[in-house]
Amino acid sequence: MARVIVDVMLKPEILDAQGQAIARALPRLGFSGVSAVRQGKRFEVEINGPADETALSDVRKMAETLLANTVIEDYTVTVES
The distance of closest approach from Cβ of residue 60 to a second copy in the complex, given in angstroms and rounded to an integer, is 11
User: Looking at beta carbons only, is 25 or 72 nearer to a second copy?
Assistant: 25
Q: Does 12 bind a second copy (CB under 8 A)?
A: no
Contact 36, 23 (CB under 8 A): yes
Q: Does 7 bind a second copy (CB under 8 A)?
A: yes
Query: Which of residues 15, 42, 71, 81 is near a second copy by CB under 8 A?
Result: 42
Contact 43, 6 (CB under 8 A): yes
Q: Does 17 bind a second copy (CB under 8 A)?
A: no
The number of angstroms, rounded, from the C-alpha of 48 to the middle of its chain's C-alpha atoms is: 22
Distance (Å, rounded) from C-alpha 3 to C-alpha 19?
27
The distance of closest approach from Cβ of residue 65 to a second copy in the complex, given in angstroms and rounded to an integer, is 6
> Which residues are CB-neighbours of 60 under 8 A, at least 6 positions away?
77
Q: Does 81 bind a second copy (CB under 8 A)?
A: no
